[in-house]
Structure 1
């Protein structure tokens, strides 16, 4: 499996049409080239999971882009980690190939409608240089290329504090990959450019234009380091009515709206990850930096460290993850005593919504222990315990929060079991 990302659109039709046109072009090229027929390969992967969370005032889930999870909605939820994916690889000759991948998992509307994760065409310019066009993974974080393939990593799920920080994980555009060596040190450098749009809820969308970035991986023996950086022009219209209302209150309201609104705001994300795996044991860690200019999405540091050892078919592991913002997670809003009495109720309501929006900026840490059992080729059973602690008035990475019952600063417990497989 070559890459792995979340869907960037609720409809699969545009990507399917684009891939169909690409395949038609590639087949025509193959007839004129050195292969009489294309080489087609089919593969797949999946996870069947069950998760229990002790919290009753919110839902724990693996992605903020899901509609529900374990806790408030269901004590035991299969939706947190369950998914099914299929991939089709088409190779025409040594230069031309294409890939399409679809994944079915819970979406924000609660459905399991399959979504196109990848759909791109690749041209191998030389043994070391390749070019791609289409839907491509954003190479941020170590597991960016395979985060949906649970079998590929030791835990039940990738650390939510880190991987939830960037809900947009693919772009429709182009990239170039170049592999080069310095003696026994292997290097891979990727540059990319694109755009993406994703539907949220309440008819809201998130759009990123002018996504441009660089990713570089260096490997030496059993160790590898991946460094990535991207920047994008980001718009999220989830709180559009709130900030439109603030702008009706004159200069003070306009200043608040300009400070927190996310409308054509230049944002950036950077990360560095280290993995050391000599076989008998492994250790890995990542650190990420997300900057949105102090908006209601927050500026945050994210990171985790994990280690484990292998004893036969068993791999016990531990991990610690955190997300810590360095931008405002609370603000008083408009000073009510500066407004006419008739305006104060509306302004107070706007201030309340602003506080609710800022409370979605995650401040959270998680301690994890678990075990992976490779019970058969291509199949692994994992069990995991997490102690999750949202703090500082934040709801952390929780969804479906009941504001009347939820109390930040109270740790809760999550127990998970998942069967991962590839075929």
Structure 2
């Protein structure tokens, strides 16, 4: 499918969704979301280009290669998505989601496509393409209306693989007063011209995560929601132009490298106060690095307004190259206003501090101002 055909397909899906409002008794349920996001780097201390990107610059979305520069930009994070679920029987359904992003020319990208079968009141099995649940907000990270920030903190959120193709089983139940949701999954993903690796490489990179196995557990009681996750996989990477292997190293006898991912989060909603926290570890220490990242946010609601101040940090360690690792931190201040029950506007200021190196030339310190209009329909 060409780029123009993909745009036409996306417009057609959007038009169909708006022309056919869903009813509770319809076999086909259609919903959607959209975000119009504008951002501009206010200041920064890197003046030379960072690979193909003009600087001063700010990385807003690693997973999709979205960076802002000193001029106002609206394509980096703006997006529109349509999701449809068709119910064949009370137990069997099919779901698909198409997303168009400004950063890649609003191509119609198939993000979700899976069959779902309810075994009983507690268990559901699914087969197909889904979002890889690395983070707390992974399943709805594209839906800007679903969280307070303009974007989930980039120091924590965003990796080279976003989706996976495989199967999962989900359990829901009550554990002594705690609402429990447990999920186990397996699969793989092949990413050609990987979007995150465009940030770090001059030439296109192909990335494969195979033998993905993992699980996550969400526990909710009263004002508290906690989540723990574990994922492991084999990693391979090639330079798409030359065909040369990047991971594992060309002289390695191994066909793939191992990685393990750990994550913890705890969120509190108590009256008008809210707390958002998350911690993750990517362990590739056997061949590359081990990274740790966290975010902590505190906010309060004032009627239709919500404020949120967030602290973030990301750090890599590598015994093979201790002075060539990425290390950065940030602060953000967010103001959200509810226009109605399905639409919100947000204003956010970010300060990014680059402490990488000294053998790593990274993006440098910067400050970003961004705003968004987020809606669901």
TM-score w.r.t. the length of structure 1 is 0.73
Structure 2 match to 1:24: none
Partner Cα distance (2:108, 2:190) in 1: 17
Give 1:294 deviation, angstroms: 4.8
How far apart, in 1, do the equivalents of 2:231 and 2:272 lie?
A: 35
2:65 pairs with 1:111: no
Matched, 1:127 2:127: no
Residue 165 (structure 2) aligns with: 172
Residue aligned with 1:163, SS: coil
State the shift of 1:180 in Å.
2.1
SS of equivalent to 1:304: strand
Is the Cα contact below 8 Å between 2:297 and 2:308 reproduced in 1? yes
**Partner Cα distance (1:421, 1:272) in 2:** 29
Change in 2 beyond 3 A, CA 1:70/1:239:
same
Cα distance change of structure 1 residues 219 and 66 upon mapping to structure 2, 3 Å threshold = closer
The answer to whether the 8 Å contact 1:236/1:262 transfers is no
Match of 2:92 in 1: 96
Q: How far 1:372 sits from its partner (Å)?
A: 0.4
Aligned partner of 1:292 in structure 2 is 284
Give, in whole Å, the separation in 2 of the partners of 1:418 and 1:42. Answer: 24
Cα offset for 1:240? 9.6
Does residue 193 of structure 1 match 2:186? yes
Which structure 1 residue ranges, 4+ long, deviate > 6 Å from structure 2? 239-245
Is the Cα contact below 8 Å between 1:234 and 1:262 reproduced in 2?
A: no
Relative to structure 1, is the Cα distance of residues 208 and 125 closer, same or farther in structure 2, using a 3 angstrom cutoff? same
Return the offset for 1:268. 1.0
Q: 1:206 to 1:262 in 2, by over 3 A?
A: farther
| CA RMSD, Structure 1 to Structure 2 (Å) | 3.0
Aligned to 2:294: 303
Q: Please give the TM-score of this superposition, normalised by the length of structure 2.
A: 0.81
Q: Which residue of 2 aligns with 1:70?
A: 68
| Structure 1: runs of 5 or more not aligned | 1-9, 17-36, 248-252, 332-357, 397-402
2: distance between equivalents of 1:287 and 1:228?
10
1:328 Cα deviation (Å)? Answer: 4.7
Q: CA deviation at 1:420?
A: 0.6
Residue matched to 1:227? 228
Distance 2:86 2:358 in 1: 46
CA-CA distance at 1:94 after TM superposition: 1.8
Work out whether 1:268 is the aligned partner of 2:266. no
Answer 1 or 2: which has greater strand percent: 2
Partner residue, 2:371: 417
Aligned to 1:142, the other structure's residue is in SS state coil
Contact 1:125–1:131 (8 Å) recurs in 2: yes
Return the index of the structure with the highest Cα Rg. Answer: 1
How much does 1:67 deviate? 5.0
1:366 aligns with 2:357: no
Name the CA distance, whole Å, in 1 between partners of 2:363 and 2:167. 45
Q: Structure 2 residue aligned with 1:280, among 272, 278, 283?
A: 272
